[in-house]
Amino acid sequence: MGEYGRRFGTPRFRIEVTKGHLTAIEVLRGAPCGATWAAAARMIGRPANDAATRMGLEVQFFCSADPAGWDPLFGHSPVHFAGKVHRAAMEAALYR
C-alpha cells in the first residue's frame, strides 16, 4: 500500500466463527471513508469459506473512491484496490 500503508496500516479485523459462519466481527482498523464498517455489518451470518471474497465485494459497494481513477502502476481502480486489501485482511483474520 505504499506510503499510506506505512503510515496508517491496512484494515484489520477480529472475528468469531461458529459452526462455519461468522458470528461476530470487530473492525480494529478500517478505511477512513467508513466502507470497512459498513461492509463488516453485512458479514454476520456469512459462511466462513466465503467471507474473504464477500468482504472484498462489500467494501467495493460502499467505497467512496472514484472508480474511474485507474492506477497505472497496479492497473486497477482505487475501488478494486480497496476490495483486494479488505479481502486480504479478512483472510488474515480467518487464519488467526
Sorted by where each starts, the structural domains of the chain and their CATH numbers stand as 2-95 (3.90.1010)
For residue 30, the 8-state DSSP code is -
Q: What is the pLDDT of residue 82?
A: 85
Spatial separation of the C-alpha atoms in residues 63 and 79, rounded to whole Å: 6
CA 95 to chain centre: 15
Q: What is the pLDDT of residue 71?
A: 64
Give the predicted TM-score (pTM) of the model. 0.81
- Give average pLDDT by consecutive 10-residue segment, the chain, 96 residues: 66 95 95 91 95 93 75 72 89 90
Q: What is the pLDDT of residue 53?
A: 93
What residues form DSSP beta bridges with 26?
Answer: 14
pLDDT, averaged across the chain:
86
